[in-house]
Amino acid sequence: MISNKKILITGGAGFIGSNLCDHFISKNNLIVCLDNFSTGRRENISHLEGNTNFKLLEGDIRDLETCKRACEGVDFVLHQAALGSVPRSINDPITTNSVNIDGFLNMLVAARDASVKRFVYAASSSTYGDSETLPKVEDKIGKPLSPYAVTKYVNELYAHVFGLNYGLECIGLRYFNVYGRRQDPNGAYAAAIPKFCMQLMAHQSPVINGDGTHSRDFTYIDNVLQMNELALATTNKKAIGEVFNTAVGEQTYLNDVLSLLKKYLSEYDNAILSIETKYGPERKGDIAHSLASITKAKHMLNYQPSHNLEKGLKEAMKWYWENLKK
């Protein structure tokens, strides 16, 4: 739906960003990837080197001049650059604030000054905070439970203000527990699914924080790609300035996710089925239950998830086995 455009993807060497680079290059767009490689990985975009439709700009969104240079001649911005992870933000709130708020504001200013047509940004389900309402509906949020959640909510407020005062078309996508190819399984702040996969493939017992009865709306990367393209392409003026849940609309308990991972990985190594699960303390700042309403995205953006949990996990497990098995 989007082709022959110049698109800036911040955080383009990251898990989601690199998949967005691939997706939009495949549709004959010119991609500018901005990344400082603090969490992004060069191997995620190495296959794009030499592609005439791809340009890498190494730099930090905390530097306004870098942001302005990246936005030159750009039609659209897909802003993915951020420091993710609730635990990381609790351990280092200052850096999380600097990247996620100062950097976000720099990007908004640069996009405004470059007359960018639309600014689509990665928001977060963490914005729902202590709200116990299920499913999560966009206009009903609670109080934040972590510094990370504060920063992502402030992003939404700034986007609203820039639309109101400068006419910058902004759309926020509240990601719900995204997983899939290229998600980094290593490091202290690795997401649950890739971390569990690596442990299982190494015949190690995965550790669940809590008793496994916390639930999430796990969302495969291809659904996220679809939502980003729909947000860029929509002609529905009522969608401008809005935020949309980016999810599947399925509530899954962590114990059940682990059972599915064992099932699909056992197709490659039957011994994985017998690996026991361990349980650890709950993490500070974690939301107990998460389930998205995707009604708004369906009605306003014509969103239809292509992958439910089982379909997404099958594809993800195949990628992890083929690419990360040592």
CB 198 within 8 A of CB 186: yes
**Same domain as 231, residue 282:** no
Neighbours of 163 (CB within 10 A): 18
**Same domain as 203, residue 281:** yes
Q: Give residue 171's pLDDT.
A: 98
Q: Give residue 233's pLDDT.
A: 97
What is the span of the domain harbouring residue 70? 6-178+219-249+292-308
pLDDT band at 287 (very low <50, low <70, confident <90, very high): confident
Q: Give residue 140's pLDDT.
A: 95
Report the DSSP beta bridge partners of residue 124: 175
- Angstrom CA distances, 91 to 20, 37, 88, 94, 226, stand at 29, 20, 5, 9, 33
Read off the pLDDT of residues 201-220 as tens digits, 9 standing for 90 and up.
999 999 988 889 999 999 99
The answer to pTM > 0.75 is yes
Looking at the chain, the whole-number percentage of residues with pLDDT higher than 90 is 89
How many structural domains comprise the chain?
2
Average pLDDT over residues 169-192: 90
Q: Which one of 121, 148, 179, 264 is the catalytic residue?
A: 148
Q: Is the pLDDT assigned to residue 62 strictly greater than 70?
A: yes
- Angstrom CA distances, 192 to 4, 85, 153, 185, 216, stand at 37, 11, 23, 8, 11
**DSSP 8-state symbol, 277:** P
Which three-class secondary structure state does DSSP give residue 264?
helix
Q: Is the pLDDT assigned to residue 188 strictly greater than 90?
A: no
Sequence-separated (6 or more) residues with CB below 8 Å from residue 190: 184
- Angstrom CA distances, 290 to 9, 47, 129, 137, 144, stand at 28, 35, 10, 11, 14
**Same domain as 104, residue 197:** no
Q: Is the pLDDT assigned to residue 285 strictly greater than 80?
A: no
Which helix (H) or strand (E) segment holds residue 219: the answer is strand 219-220
**Same domain as 205, residue 127:** no
Distance, first Cα to last Cα, the chain: 39
**Same domain as 278, residue 199:** yes
CB 165 within 8 A of CB 109: no
**Same domain as 256, residue 169:** no
Sequence-separated (6 or more) residues with CB below 8 Å from residue 242: 138, 171, 172, 296, 300
pLDDT band at 326 (very low <50, low <70, confident <90, very high): low
Is residue 148 among the annotated active site residues? Answer: yes
Asked if residue 257 is part of any domain, the answer here is: yes
Asked if residue 186 is part of any domain, the answer here is: no
Read off the pLDDT of residues 92-147 as tens digits, 9 standing for 90 and up.
999 999 999 999 999 999 999 999 999 999 999 999 999 989 999 999 999 999 99
Asked if residue 185 is part of any domain, the answer here is: no
CATH at residue 281: 3.90.25.10
**Same domain as 134, residue 72:** yes
- As a whole number of angstroms, the distance between CA 39 and CA 42 comes to 10
